[in-house]
Amino acid sequence: MKSYLAAAIQMTSLPDLHHNLTQAEELIDLAVRRGAELISLPENFSFLGNEEAKVRQAVEIATESEKFLKRMAQRYQIVILGGGFPVPAQNGKFYNTALLVSRDGQEIARYEKVHLFDVDLPDGNIYYESQMIVAGSKAAPVYKSPDYGNLGLSVCYDVRFPELYRAMAEAGANVLFVPAAFTAFTGKDHWQVLVQARAIENTCYVIAPAQTGQHNSRRQSHGHAIIVDPWGVVLADAGTEPGMAIASIEPRRLEQVRRQMPCLKHRVF
């Protein structure tokens, strides 16, 4: 593992596939110009807003999203994570899928979100992801990259389930992805503290790209894409506008924290 710059992209995706992919490419280009080698896009990067339209276009969204990620990886010679897009499953439903792609445009890890966001929030918004999404049945993968560390994949609501991340840490993860579209209501209280907790308890870097702003008349995201170090220090925060959090991932810092706070070795249960 080497030292490198990682970017957590922040977007305001709309129910418009081609608009979103154009926005994503502009931000990827900017991140590369700033020196980023590992770039991550948020959940629903390619489509967000109108669920009925998403269902109608799901096959196109899945196809174009995957093509886009592979094209960006090859064009810019980066490793890229597409944080979540619908991939057809069965019975007219879909998997919420995160895809990690290598510099040569090859899929190197795929994760189907296992925890589905079915909640009634106090602000009056109701979210039932399971109405159109099938929960994944496989453990979150850890891709072991000689250059970028052992990369663990998750998606958004997963961040509330620490056992998922502990399993990845046990599998060797030292960099965790949490691409998200956190609601404005929950994000203001829970987003940063949850991401920091996952970093601290597993002594891992956490790279958390995010959605921000208004996606339609009812859907609003919190923003604040962040990168957190293994001690829980927020290295970069994208605020509330489209853009990115960009920071250096340092193997020496990882080794230092794990040496000084070897909690993973001290586990009893």
Residue positions annotated with a catalytic role: 43, 113, 156
| Rounded Cα–Cα distance for residues 208 and 192 (Å) | 10
Helices 17-33 and 58-76 sit at what angle, rounded to 10 degrees?
A: 20
Comparing CA positions, the residue from 138, 139, 75, 135 lying closest to residue 101 is 75
Tokens 């990620």 sit on residue = 69
| Rounded Cα–Cα distance for residues 27 and 85 (Å) | 18
How many other C-beta atoms are found inside a 10 Å radius of the C-beta of residue 250?
17
Contact 179, 111 (CB under 8 A): no
Q: Looking at residue 33, what DSSP letter applies?
A: H
Residues 6+ apart with CB under 8 A from 218: 125
